[in-house]
C-alpha cells in the first residue's frame, strides 16, 4: 500500500497542485483536499494509466449518491489505495 500511496499522492499533488506534504493516507480527497469531481476524473485518468486499471468511478459515485456506501470508503486515500491494490491484484490474478 505504501508505494501505491506514494504514487497516488504524487498524482494528486501534480494534478491538483496540492503540496505533497498536505496529502496523507487519512486525507479525504473531497473534504480535506477539496478535490472536485472534474479534478477527480483527472486523477482517475492518471491512476488508470499508472496502474493499468480502470477505477470504477461511476459505480462508486452511484453507490455514494444512493447512500449504499459512505464516501470515505472510496475517497479516503488509504481506502482508495487499498481498492487500487485490489484492482491490480485482480488484473494479475
Partner 1 sequence: MRLEYFEMIDTVTLFDAAQQRIVCRATVPDASPVFEGHFPGHPLVPGVLLTETMAQASGYLVLGLNRLSQMPFLMAVDKARFRTFVEPGAVLVIEAALTVEGSGYAATKASITADGKPVCDAELRFRLMPFPAELGALMRQRTAAIGLVPEAVTS
Binding site for partner 1 (CB under 8 A): 38, 41-42, 44-45, 48-49, 54-59, 61
For partner 1, give the closer residue by CB, 5 or 74.
74
For partner 1, give the closer residue by CB, 6 or 36.
36
For partner 1, give the closer residue by CB, 24 or 62.
62
> Rounded to the nearest 10 degrees, how much is the dihedral formed by the CA atoms of 18, 24, 21, 51?
-60
Nearest to 78 by CA among 29, 25, 15: 25
CB 21 → partner 1: shortest distance, Å? 26
Helix, strand, coil % in the chain, rounded to nearest 5: 65, 0, 30
Amino acid at each position: 500500500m505504501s508505494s501505491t500511496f506514494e504514487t497516488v499522492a504524487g498524482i494528486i499533488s501534480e494534478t491538483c497542485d496540492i503540496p505533497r506534504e498536505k496529502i496523507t493516507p487519512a486525507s479525504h480527497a473531497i473534504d480535506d483536499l477539496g478535490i472536485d469531481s472534474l479534478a477527480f476524473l483527472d486523477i482517475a485518468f492518471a491512476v488508470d494509466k499508472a496502474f493499468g486499471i480502470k477505477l470504477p468511478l461511476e459505480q462508486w459515485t452511484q453507490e455514494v449518491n444512493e447512500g449504499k456506501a459512505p464516501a470515505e470508503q472510496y475517497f479516503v486515500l488509504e481506502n482508495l489505495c487499498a481498492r487500487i491494490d485490489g484492482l491490480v491484484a485482480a488484473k494479475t490474478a
